[in-house]
Amino acid sequence: MYCQVQDLEVYYETYGEGKPILAIHGYYIDHHVMEGCLEPIFKDRPGWKRIYIDLPGFGKTKPEDWIISSDVMLDIILQFIDKVIPGENFLLAGESYGGYLARGIVYNRQDAVDGLLLICPVIIADRGKRSLPPRTILVKNHELLLSLTPLEREKFEPWTTVHTDKVWMRFQKDIMPGVRLMDSKFADKLMKYGYPLSFDPDELVKPFTKPSLILTGRQDSNVGYKDDWGILMDYPRATFAVLDRAAHMLQIEQEGLFNALVNEWLDRVEDM
């Protein structure tokens, strides 16, 4: 379905009824990445309304010329929230760039957010200033890589450290649809000229005291894991985990641990 935000038609999907949780995907992909990792968890947890958004330029949400920065992208999400779940408190889940924007929402609407899940979040927008581990492949599969198209290999190889058929099948299902649908011209322009927020989303007026979960990959050479430690003081109720055998797609490469930790986070939210 679509939500009208100014002259923009924002695509989103919803499942279930109850407490809202807004899931925001990362850059170059779409809502499938969040739906793929969260729906298996919520199928056994009633009472939650899951909202999966496609950001402008990604998935089924077309970009507009006036979307020139992450500040504008964030404002679109805030307007989307006001239209889809007006006046309601909600949970946030963000992956990579979506985790960056999610913290921008906390910065602006802290009292409305009852829980925060960050999956391999962007902490520092400028890639050159990130603390990144060296690129490492822990499980190699040369035959698998040779079977992929150039586009598939371009995305799969640097975003993962476990190159198995099982990981590729999930990657193909959750990641590649968004890769194929994205507006690359728009994405590249925003990345080059407007990616950083104009403010620091981690300079909170007060600590975010609701249950939080920050998940990072030990082999994530895209956003790393060391920089996340620097924001922990803002989240006194955060569980912080660095998962071995996981790169930028830890929810796929470490599915079992991911599911267990997210379920425990939801338990903490429900105990409030």
How many Å apart are CA 78 and CA 100, to the nearest integer? Answer: 14
Over residues 10-20, the mean pLDDT reads 98
Specify the long-range contacts of residues 198-201, CB closer than 8 Å, at least 24 apart: 198/69, 198/71, 199/104, 199/107, 201/100, 201/103, 201/104, 201/106, 201/107
pTM, entire model: 0.97
Residues 6 or more apart in contact with residue 256 via CB below 8 angstroms? none
Domain extent for 213: 2-270
User: Could you read off the pLDDT of 38-67 as tens digits, one per residue?
Assistant: 999 999 899 999 999 999 999 999 999 999
Q: How many domains does the chain have?
A: 1
Nearest to 31 by CA among 78, 95, 85: 95
Query: Which CATH number is 36's domain given?
Result: 3.40.50.1820
Is residue 272 very low, low, confident or very high in pLDDT (cuts 50, 70, 90)? confident
